[in-house]
Structure 1
Amino acid sequence: MVAVKWSKLLLAGVLFVPLAYADSAVEASRYYEDALKRYERHDDAGAIIQLKNALKADNRMLPALVLMGQAHLRAGDPAAAERVLADAERLGAARGQIATLQAQAYLAQGKTRLMLEKFGADGLPPDARLDMLMMRGQAQLNLSQLDAAMTSARQAAQMPGGSARALALQARIHLNAGRPQEAQAVAQEALRISPRDADAINMQASILHLRGELEAAAREYGRALEVQPDYLDARLARAGILLDLQRDRELKQDLDYLQSHFAYDPRGAYLRALYFSRQGDEARARAALQEATRTLGKLAPEFLAASAQLQLLGGLAHHALGEFERAKTFLGTYLEKHPRDVGARKLMGSIYLAEHQYDRATTMLQPALREQPDDAKVLAMLGEAAMRQGNPGKAARLFQEASEAHNSADIQTGLGVSLISAGQQEAGFQALVRAYEKAPASTQSAIPYALALLKRGDPRKAGTVVEGIIKREPKNVAMLNLLGITRLATGDRAGARAAYGAAIKAAPSFYPAHLNLARIDELDRQTARAHKRYLGILKVAPAHIDAMLELARLDESLGRPAEALRWLEKARSVRSKDIRTHLALSAFYLRQGQPRQALDIAKDAQAQAPDNPHTLLALVQSNIAVGNGDAARNLLRHLVQVVAFQPERLTQAATLQAQVGDMESARYALSKALLADSNYVPALALQIRLDLQSGKTGEAEKQAQALLGKPGAAAEARRLLGEIRMAQKRYPEAIAAYREASAQNPTEASVFGLFDALMASGQAADAATLMSGWRDSHPQSRLAAHALGEAWLALKDVTRARAVYTELVRVDPKDARAHNNLAHVLLQLGEPAALVHAEKARALAPNQPQVNDTLGWVLVQQGQLEKGLRYLREAALRAPEDKGIQSHLNETLARLKRP
């Protein structure tokens, strides 16, 4: 019986080995099911291998043929998809199941006319009919059959669920026909019908892109990718914009995605070439360009003629290789159909400038300027042409307009905030610096800059920025409140109190300052005073949600869960549309050991804000708590898409993914976090921990040593070294590392790490002394109380252990761990009440193996062997590696004389 800690279970990875079963049908089915799992996690290569194995066992297995067609399509091999789907058709696969896949394979090979001849929409089920109409419309559009394309799109719009997609296609047709206003109107109608339709959002982005509103277009493409991460056109378009905007860090993420998911696409190769060139790696850049043009050269002329994107790509790739004549051929063909494409005009204009054809460059670029009057690049290129034509006055005006288009403080501030929100921390911060330098007296630029400084751990400089504004605006309550925050961050509580007091004096109803004062009261252990402040806010503003939530938090920390629940329920009833109230209540139920209630409340929050990161995290944590690992994994993958490049959120997601055993996804989330901010310490630390968990101790130690040299990371690095030494069972060195970490930054994590190291080395007395001291300074910490109880148990001081666990269950009767360990203590003392607490523990945590073991062993010791055996068997099934549980089971079986 383990009475000290819950066990930590890691999911083992599945080895990629052939399956072997005697019966061929069963064997084929097993291969197919494994392939399906691989396909669902986007392991197309692995899925194809297993499907081939399935077909070796049963060469007439229709599901395997169809799934293989899907896998080949997604892997970029439409010819192979066409072949296996034809086999499926010959074997009698229903047309409704494979026709759209076959049509997709034809389109992907450039067999556009043949696709239109061979595949119609009549007779297909509704969903397949919708997809077929959409593909036919796209094929007709590729062939410039605009009227036919519009007919297909309108037919699609009549299908259930097809309105938004079909309208997006209609908008594309209008755009290709040179009707941007109609395109805009139709795209907006599509978004009105379905705000999260990826095609509609992508269409809106395309219109913005065409108008030269690059920042807005990038954001819209990002929205489309949040809905559908594998939306190739949106991913490529955004990457092109990021190239124009020189946002290389964000661009690299898109390029990595394209290479990993669409390695066969020549457009991704071209974009990689530009990236490598910008990084100064000309050899790799040229190789990527040659790869792109090589692939283009293999395509059928009909396919190239029908694909505007590939025409543009040909111009881009040949231009980058200096092959201007070939580039002009591609671009000329493209611009005949898309004369309003500003990007293509800029590219052709750059060729004319390079060839000293300044008149032709001006002629090419003037229409682009009419489309996008504020496009800085177009203005600069026209300025260069004017200079070369001997018109310096005109050139100066054009260059000035280009400068103004990108260098104003408000634009720089917006850029900085958006970059930081997208996870581009350093680039965003530098934009905020430029904005503040341009307008230091503007609160619009000062506030984001000060907040960024705070986040970067520089509160003193942030305070200086805020004080500069306050000198000019002494009664600006928002700035006074922010000044208090900066002072508190430096440890100056008195200064923070003064700033908050000044804000309240200037505006008595400015409640954020009241809340911040109450939080300082809590830091000073004046909990009654803090409680009174929160109640004071509610007396004046009875519906103030933040005050209710703070009261709930404070009451819970003081061991008053019923009062906390009352405040949380009241907050939710007062502001049911505020997801914070739902999330706070869900988190409370989790802490109280009521995961089902937590999950129900989290679902209520999701109904209001389905893609809010906080909502998704609450759902993940609740699903984990109820044992629904699959749901948690799916939610976490969605969360990683939703948060884009926010290092903090990505690291949170990766931590939880590791917890549920989804290590591949965890590493992907971490790669995104570190791409956004390569110095983000929590992400670096988690990466080290994942290496340690996977047995890469040497690599983990190497990275931890490197982390020691990063500013502000020494304490975390030493704690990681402590964890590594613990894994190596080098306990004296672990203790030393944790002591150094605690000395530098005495966080709960470092103190508990030291506690574990002391316990592991047999120094339970020192561990008890350490935790007693920590508990004295943190009297509300239940973790500290549990740890202290473990130390007393290790020292066989059952009297003190009993006192600790009795107090824990008194304060929180729903603490399963405390009931479990109290049962263990009472069993040692021979007291019958051990059974009462063991039964309570299992009622609260029926899935915990240690709880089942405790109840089973108590029953056995009290003479109820048969009943106890039932729980011991369950415990052994849940934790077969636990030697203590196995020992109890074996002894009970022996006593019952059973094998």
Structure 2
Amino acid sequence: MQRNKLLLVFVSLIVLIGLAGCSTPQEKAQKFYDKGMTLLDTDPGKAKLEFQNALQMKKDMTEAIYGLALVAEKQSEWKTCYALLNQVLDAQPKHVDAIIKIGQLFLAAGELEKAKERANYASQISPENAGVLLLNASIALKENDLKSAIAKANQVLQKDNRNADAYLLLASASNTQKNIPEALGFLEKGLAINQKNLALQLFKISLLSQSGQKDQAEKTYQQVVEMYPAEMSLREKFAEFLLQSGKKEAAEQQLRYLVDNNPKELAPKLNLVKFLLQVKGPKEGRAEFEKMVKLNPNDYDLSFSLVELYESQQDNSASEALLNHIVTTAGSNNDGLKAKTKVATKLLQQNQNEQAKKLIGEVLAQDKGFTDALILKSAIAINDAQYDAAILDLRSVLKDKPNSAQALFLLAKAYEQTGSTSLAEESYTKALDVSKFSPTFAIPYVQSLMNDKKLDRAEKVLQEVIRKYPNNIAVTKLLVDLKLETGDVDGAQKIANSIKNASNSNLSDLIEGAVSIRKNDFATSLAAFQRAYQKSPNDMQAVNAIVKIHLNRKNFNEAQTFLESVVAANPANYQARILLAEVYDQAGNRSKAFETFESIIVSAPKEPAAYQQYAVANIRAKDINKAKEIIEKGLVVIPNNYDLEMALAEVYQYQKAYTEALGVYEKLLKINPSSLIAVNNYVSIVSDYVSDAATIERAYTLAQPLKNSQVPQFLDTAGWISYRAGKYDEAIQQLELAVAKSPNDGATYYHLGK
């Protein structure tokens, strides 16, 4: 009997224990959420996992979504934070904390009115909420209403004297009044509440630095990084601080600590290399990078980054060797295919199109959807004027990767070439949007707009790009060019003034020189270009501008003397040497010019411009045969060079050897089928000198891309070949467009009159 009783008690205990262990999904979710909140300040990454686990248990747990928003805030992922906060408000429109956070995001982004809207809404829901009061205080501080800001912060402290955020706001107000000691006092009060409050600590470091207490700032920074050992970005900022303080070795130690303690992370390695390149020079930075790659042979992301360094140092042999090594070791996996595609890209840059196509074919045979290879294949198709094939491949890429800026940009180019203007514009706009107006895509697009005289659209795009990339020199130059083209001289000067003290480049002086030319103030212009040259002696834009001013004023001696000094300073500046030879020729010193061209060809036999300009000088001297001989000599050394082949075709035209010229243009169109100049010249010769119907029909087909051009000469050629092909309505349409764009061109009027 006693035994049965014990058994019953034991069974009861098992049942009770079992019941205790069977938590509901809601209870499990709450445990995950609570753990996430305890980890939020010390380890946001782990906190994120806990909040995600909570949502696995309870998908509609709003507080867990809000927790993820707090993690995103701590990790500076502002778009993600904003999206998550809106998700919270979709579920709970009166979630005050989420409303406050969105208001803070708008305030940080400078969207003051939107921040006020959120603050007013939060005030209606919970007017005495500390977060609401502090948001309103922050807005008041932004509007320089210090009295209101301080009053609201103190109102919070009266209710809760342990509110660290209120002390942060009071410190900000004191700093605005240039009272750093008082600001530091408020920060210390906040830190007494929570020593690990990162915002307070970083503000303290900033104020200590401002007030000249560098040692104390460094000591505080060291303490903070020790509080947050897992925060890589914090230690990176500490390294920057040390570097700015002149403590290079200490900065390097911090960066090496990150590499040693995060062996699988790429970013710390790249940051260390960037530091070494900047501080110790290209040789040391490269050596460290190569050492890293040797120690991590299977880290192909690291190897690809080293390839980028080689390319930036213009060491093509090293980059090709490493890419081929990756191809060999990685085989047919994604890294191997990526490397093979990059090798194909290099081959294209070297005009080895067939070898490049072969490699791309091999990649696509292993993975028919490999994005990089499809994009490269599409680029080749566009270059070969196979626009429909390119469009099909690019659409395939965009199905899998709808936000591929490169694919969108190429698709826009393909549409543009087929005359689908609205589709091209739509794709260009998407490419800019997904790339966040990256200069890589914006610059060629704007150049295309400028060529088509769509200047208003070009300026709007450039203004957006420069807002996001204010220090990009190429973008700034392009905006200045646009200002000058539209006659906005004052706008160009304003840009020059704005960057005068903000850049180490010579751009401000170049702009001032260009603006002064527009004002016919050649003395000021020359002085500005001379300053630009002194700052950047190898910048040919400054050199060309100085020479042009001298030549326009017939000051040949000054131009020669200046260029001779440029060449003496840098004998390897072949552009300057070619320009000097041209100046000798224009000044009537032909023997000196020819002697200079010959010396350039001897010292730089693969410099195509030397052969080209030497030939031009001989054409000017009426020695066409000598010009042809020079170009042919260049083509022996640099076979299939596009510029030299084009020059040879033009020489044949001078000699009225039209059959030979057509042969060269045929060759050029095989090298680059999308070259509108080669198409125009070929079609022009056929329309004027060929009577064979089949050749005329082929030329008419080749001329179709010319119809989409804004260049009047191209439109004239398209119209004239349409006439020769018997397409009279098309001919009239194209020739009328050409006349409208170039009303003073007699040849176009003649063609239209026919």
Q: What is the rounded CA distance, in whole Å, between the counterparts of 1:610 and 1:383 in structure 2?
A: 34
Shift of 1:819: 4.8
Query: How do 1:770-849 residues align onto structure 2 when only pairs under 5 Å count?
Result: 785-794=645-654, 796-808=656-668, 817-826=677-686, 829=689, 831=691, 840=703, 844-845=707-708, 847-849=710-712
1:467 to 290, 299, 303: 290
SS in 2 for 1:467: helix
Q: Does 1:342 align with 2:171?
A: yes
Structure 1 residue aligned with 2:431: 605
SS in 2 for 1:341: helix
Cα gap change, 1:451/1:552 in structure 2, threshold over 3 Å: closer, same or farther? farther
Q: What is the rounded CA distance, in whole Å, between the counterparts of 1:745 and 1:184 in structure 2?
A: 69
The sequence identity of aligned pairs, in percent, is 14
Q: Does 1:400 align with 2:219?
A: yes
2:98 to 185, 188, 207: 185
SS in 2 for 1:539: helix
Q: Does 1:879 align with 2:698?
A: no
Query: Where do 5+ consecutive residues of structure 1 fail to align?
Result: 1-163, 172-180, 207-232, 238-305, 313-328, 354-359, 388-394, 420-426
Name the stretch that deviates more: 749-758 or 636-645: 749-758
Q: Does 1:740 align with 2:740?
A: no
**What one-letter code is carried by the residue in structure 1 that aligns with 2:369?**
A
Q: What is the rounded CA distance, in whole Å, between the counterparts of 1:708 and 1:374 in structure 2?
A: 47
SS in 2 for 1:678: coil
2:538 to 713, 722, 725: 713
1:438 to 254, 258, 261: 254
Q: What is the rounded CA distance, in whole Å, between the counterparts of 2:612 and 2:115 in structure 1?
A: 49
Query: How do 1:222-261 residues align onto structure 2 when only pairs under 5 Å count?
Result: none
Cα deviations by residue, 1:349-374 (Å, 9 ceiling, x for unpaired) = 847x5xxxxxx887655445457664
Cα deviations by residue, 1:778-821 (Å, 9 ceiling, x for unpaired) = 76665655454444444554444333345556777776544543
SS in 2 for 1:375: helix
Structure 2 residue aligned with 1:77: none
CA contact (8 A) 1:701 1:721 kept: yes
2:454 to 628, 636, 651: 628
**What one-letter code is carried by the residue in structure 2 that aligns with 1:844?**
K
Q: What is the rounded CA distance, in whole Å, between the counterparts of 1:877 and 1:457 in structure 2?
A: 60
1:545 to 346, 371, 380: 371
Q: Does 1:585 align with 2:404?
A: no
Q: What is the rounded CA distance, in whole Å, between the counterparts of 1:539 and 1:759 in structure 2?
A: 51
Cα gap change, 1:611/1:822 in structure 2, threshold over 3 Å: closer, same or farther? closer
Shift of 1:826: 4.3
**What one-letter code is carried by the residue in structure 1 that aligns with 2:254?**
K
Structure 2 residue aligned with 1:295: none
Structure 2 residue aligned with 1:645: 471
Q: What is the rounded CA distance, in whole Å, between the counterparts of 2:633 and 2:278 in structure 1?
A: 31
Cα gap change, 1:591/1:473 in structure 2, threshold over 3 Å: closer, same or farther? same
CA contact (8 A) 1:841 1:851 kept: no
Q: What is the rounded CA distance, in whole Å, between the counterparts of 2:723 and 2:450 in structure 1?
A: 32
Q: What is the rounded CA distance, in whole Å, between the counterparts of 1:862 and 1:598 in structure 2?
A: 29
Q: What is the rounded CA distance, in whole Å, between the counterparts of 1:876 and 1:776 in structure 2?
A: 42
Structure 1 residue aligned with 2:397: 571
Shift of 1:466: 0.6
Query: How do 1:26-105 residues align onto structure 2 when only pairs under 5 Å count?
Result: none
Structure 2 residue aligned with 1:68: none
Cα gap change, 1:186/1:699 in structure 2, threshold over 3 Å: closer, same or farther? same
SS in 2 for 1:644: coil
CA contact (8 A) 1:846 1:852 kept: yes
SS in 1 for 2:271: helix
Name the stretch that deviates more: 628-637 or 547-556: 547-556
**What one-letter code is carried by the residue in structure 1 that aligns with 2:402?**
S
Structure 1 residue aligned with 2:7: none
Q: What is the rounded CA distance, in whole Å, between the counterparts of 1:789 and 1:455 in structure 2?
A: 48
CA contact (8 A) 1:583 1:601 kept: yes
Shift of 1:444: 3.8
Q: What is the rounded CA distance, in whole Å, between the counterparts of 2:106 and 2:150 in structure 1?
A: 37
SS in 1 for 2:364: helix
Query: How do 1:409-448 residues align onto structure 2 when only pairs under 5 Å count?
Result: 410-411=232-233, 415=237, 435-436=251-252, 438-440=254-256, 442=259, 444-448=267-271
Cα deviations by residue, 1:450-488 (Å, 9 ceiling, x for unpaired) = 357779996434312313434654554333333344445
Cα gap change, 1:345/1:706 in structure 2, threshold over 3 Å: closer, same or farther? closer
TM-score (norm 1): 0.49
TM-score (norm 2): 0.57
Q: What is the rounded CA distance, in whole Å, between the counterparts of 1:378 and 1:698 in structure 2?
A: 52
Cα gap change, 1:405/1:780 in structure 2, threshold over 3 Å: closer, same or farther? farther
SS in 1 for 2:413: helix
Q: What is the rounded CA distance, in whole Å, between the counterparts of 1:417 and 1:745 in structure 2?
A: 45
Q: What is the rounded CA distance, in whole Å, between the counterparts of 1:738 and 1:841 in structure 2?
A: 36
Q: What is the rounded CA distance, in whole Å, between the counterparts of 1:843 and 1:764 in structure 2?
A: 33
2:301 to 466, 474, 478: 478
Query: Where do 5+ consecutive residues of structure 2 fail to align?
Result: 1-81, 120-136, 156-165, 260-265, 565-573, 580-599
SS in 1 for 2:406: helix
The one of the two structures with greater contact order (alpha-carbon pairs below 8 A, sep at least 6) is 1
Name the stretch that deviates more: 813-822 or 573-582: 813-822
Q: What is the rounded CA distance, in whole Å, between the counterparts of 1:558 and 1:457 in structure 2?
A: 45
Name the stretch that deviates more: 462-471 or 732-741: 732-741
Structure 2 residue aligned with 1:500: 323
Cα gap change, 1:719/1:417 in structure 2, threshold over 3 Å: closer, same or farther? farther
CA contact (8 A) 1:450 1:462 kept: yes
Q: What is the rounded CA distance, in whole Å, between the counterparts of 1:778 and 1:589 in structure 2?
A: 34
**What one-letter code is carried by the residue in structure 1 that aligns with 2:290?**
E
Cα deviations by residue, 1:163-220 (Å, 9 ceiling, x for unpaired) = x9xx99xx9xxxxxxxxx98752144569999999347767999xxxxxxxxxxxxxx
**What one-letter code is carried by the residue in structure 1 that aligns with 2:219?**
Q
Cα deviations by residue, 1:719-753 (Å, 9 ceiling, x for unpaired) = 55555567667899699984526869999996699
CA contact (8 A) 1:782 1:808 kept: yes
Q: What is the rounded CA distance, in whole Å, between the counterparts of 1:713 and 1:781 in structure 2?
A: 25
Shift of 1:581: 1.0
SS in 1 for 2:368: coil
SS in 2 for 1:645: coil
Shift of 1:536: 3.2
CA contact (8 A) 1:820 1:851 kept: yes
Structure 2 residue aligned with 1:143: none
Q: What is the rounded CA distance, in whole Å, between the counterparts of 1:721 and 1:808 in structure 2?
A: 35
Name the stretch that deviates more: 664-673 or 729-738: 729-738
CA contact (8 A) 1:640 1:650 kept: yes
- Alpha-carbon RMSD across the aligned residues, in angstroms, is 6.2
Structure 2 residue aligned with 1:378: 204
SS in 1 for 2:456: helix
Shift of 1:583: 1.1
